[in-house]
Amino acid sequence: MSLYKYSFWEVLKHAFSAEVWERVVPAISETMYMVAVSAVFVLVFGVLLGLVLVMTSKEGLVPCKSVHTVLSAVINCFRSLPQVIIIIVMLPVARALVGKSYGSNACIISLVASCVPLFARLVESSLLELDKGKIEAAKAMGSGNMRILFQIMVPETMPSLVRAFTNAVVIIISMTALAGSFGAGGIGYIAVTYGYTRFEHDLLFATIIVLIVIVQAVQILGDTISKIILKRRHLI
């Protein structure tokens, strides 16, 4: 149903029809798959790199200028590229890793390449917010670095880390939609091929609604978890 033939309300109404959702639902599960797998990778590598950034910084637990400078520079390189360009750059990498440069798994690689550096920076800034006094107290009690890292720094900054991860997931979702236009499939693919190329605006509307709902849900979930932790600690 195109907006050129039908009125806005008719198209919008049709966006909720079974005919449309038959095509959108499989795309949703495809998108969910890409987002979920990417999010796991982003969480693991982002936290690791973020921790390394903080640890090796000048005021960190194991200052190491060379590691810090190199890692920081690499992250900045990735961060300075627009997401479209990262997707294009990662196409050959994806082909090398998963055998083809299109499809969900190839998309996951560019999502990870783009969002790990972002999340690493978010983790870094969360951890840097931690009051130095607490780290000193832990040191004064004779804690080793790993203990300080995982029993003090990470738990103490957990509400902020949860919020950072929520942001990262929202960005992953929007990027999945973008990657859809490069043959990744999922909701983005529907929006571009049907909504843009074939003027099936009812499908376009359906994808917009789905994206809004998913992002809202993620944001509310993240905010709630973060608030629950803060409440339990009586910090709000």
Partner 1 sequence: MDEKFIEVKQLYKTFHTKKQDIEVLKGIDLSVGKGDIYGIVGFSGAGKSTLVRCINRLEEPDSGSVRIGDQEITSLGKAQLNKQRRKIGMIFQQFNLFDSMTVAQNIAYPLKMAGASAKEIGARVEEMLALVGLTEKRDAYPGELSGGQKQRVGIARALANQPDVLLSDEATSALDPQTTLSVLDLLKEINQKLGLTIILITHELEVIKYTCHRMAVMEDGKLLEQGLVKDIFQHPQCDTARNFIGVYNKFRSDYWQEEAK
82 vs 144, beta carbon nearer partner 1? 144
- Identify whether the C-beta of residue 17 lies closer than 8 Å to the C-beta of residue 205: no
Give the H/E segment covering residue 174.
helix 158-179
Return the structure tokens found at 112. Answer: 């990870």
Min dist CB 110 to partner 1, Å, is 35
Smallest distance from partner 1 to CB 69, Å: 18
Minimum distance, C-beta of residue 233 to partner 1, in the bound complex (Å): 5
In eight-state DSSP terms, residue 58 is T
Which two structure tokens, joined as six digits, stand for 224? 């709630």
Residue that has been written with the tokens 């910084």 in this structure: 57
Handedness of CA 191, 195, 197, 198 (dihedral sign): positive
CB of 150 to partner 1, least distance (A): 12
Helix (H) or strand (E) holding 138: helix 132-140
The DSSP result for 102-157, as a single string, is SSHHHHHHHHHHHHHHHHHHHHHHHHHTS-HHHHHHHHHTT--HHHIIIIIIHHHT
CB of 61 to partner 1, least distance (A): 11
Residue 30 vs 156, nearer CB to partner 1: 156
Tell me whether residue 5 or residue 147 sits nearer to partner 1 (CB atom).
147
Q: Which amino acid is at 46?
A: G
| Closest to partner 1 by CB, 84 or 130 | 130
Closest CB to partner 1 among residues 82, 155:
155
Q: In this complex, which beta carbon is closest to partner 1, that of residue 10 or of residue 136?
A: 136
Between 118 and 149, whose beta carbon lies closer to partner 1?
A: 149
Q: Are 226 and 162 in contact (CB under 8 A)?
A: yes
Binding site for partner 1 (CB under 8 A): 131, 133-134, 136-144, 147, 151-152, 155-156, 158, 232-235
Nearest-Å Rg of the Cα atoms of the chain is 21
CB of 223: closest distance to partner 1 in angstroms? 19
Question: Under a CB-based contact definition with an 8 Å cutoff, are residues 78 and 112 in contact?
Answer: no
The least distance separating partner 1 from the CB of residue 47, rounded to whole angstroms, comes to: 16
